[in-house]
Amino acid sequence: MAQNCNRFYYVQVTSDTIVTPSVAPRVEQAVERLAGALATRTPCAPVRDLIGTDDLDAAYAVQQGLVRRRLDAGARVVGRKIGATSEAVQRQLGVDQPDFGYLLDEMDVSALAPIPMDALLQPRVEAEVAFVLGADLAPADEEEITPALVRSAVALVLPALEIVDSRISGWDIGFTDTVADNASSGLFVVADRAAGRPLDEVEPVEVVMSLSIDGEVRSEGTGAACLGDPLEALRWLAIQAHRYGDPLRAGHLVLSGALGPFVQFAAGQTVEASISGFAPLVATFA
């Protein structure tokens, strides 16, 4: 368990408790492969040859191993991300279910202009609804994680851009590959919290999204594209986090998932996300 001095952030990484001894060496090999790709900025082969295509416990153990290394190097957890929530993105990735990963402080590039791309390998960008939690989602029983409880835990709603990325060459990923690779996370941009709105002022399922690159609309969608409702995506995440022994905590930022297809972009371009009810969110890349 690791906990830093900021009371809002908390992470428990327990990958060795969810895999059998026979699988553990392959999990460590997968961690080494992905960590090497991240360190050298050189895409690697998929890890499904090591952990299989359907062992989610092994895949999340790899993810937690990677996160633990970054925490040991000084990073801290600031929240979670949900991936593959829209059918459009699932088709793009060739998967059929959502996954989740960790958000680290070093992934937050909201204050940078322009945003450096030297940490990225094969970036794509997507627009999302983000939530800031005002209360823990950590009841004793997962059956208590009801829609009402989830709504009551949300302090703010914000627009966000997620810059997804893959350490795996050519985005040749199966579901366990993307889970292991911290849900294909890269960087994120989120509006200032002063621009956030409470749930009594905005209904996430009703928002309309448009994503443009250099003024050209490249992706469109609605809140309903995100598992039917971004709040339902948040509830799904809260249940998964509870099952893996690391519940969502007050202060966490949650990226709830894409509202439309992700798109490629390049250095020097400007990305703008327009989500109804909020001012446009703009990011320029160096």
Q: Are 260 and 223 in contact (CB under 8 A)?
A: no
The DSSP line for 55-99 is: -HHHHHHHHHHHHHHHHHTT--EEEEEEES-SHHHHHHHT-SS-E
Backbone CA torsion sign across 106, 19, 32, 179:
negative
Decide if 239 contacts 101 (C-beta within 8 A).
no
Q: Which fold has domain 77-284?
A: Fumarylacetoacetate hydrolase; domain 2 (3.90.850)
Give the span between the Cα atoms of 282 and 210, in whole angstroms: 12
Run of H or E including 243: helix 230-243
Tens of each residue's pLDDT in the chain, 286 residues:
233 322 222 334 444 446 777 788 999 999 999 999 999 999 999 999 999 999 999 999 999 999 999 999 999 999 999 998 878 777 887 777 889 999 999 999 999 999 999 989 999 999 999 999 999 999 999 999 999 999 999 999 999 999 999 999 999 999 999 999 999 999 999 999 999 999 999 999 999 999 999 999 999 999 999 999 999 999 999 999 999 889 999 999 999 999 999 999 999 999 999 999 999 999 999 9
Roughly what angle, to the nearest 10 degrees, separates helices 56-72 and 24-40?
Answer: 50
Q: What whole-number distance in Å separates Cα of residue 44 and Cα of residue 201?
A: 45
Q: What are phi and psi of 213, to 5 degrees?
A: -125, 120
Closest CA to 11 of 85, 75, 82: 75
The angle formed by the CA atoms of residues 162, 164 and 169, to the nearest 5 degrees, is 175
For the chain, the structural domain boundaries read 77-284
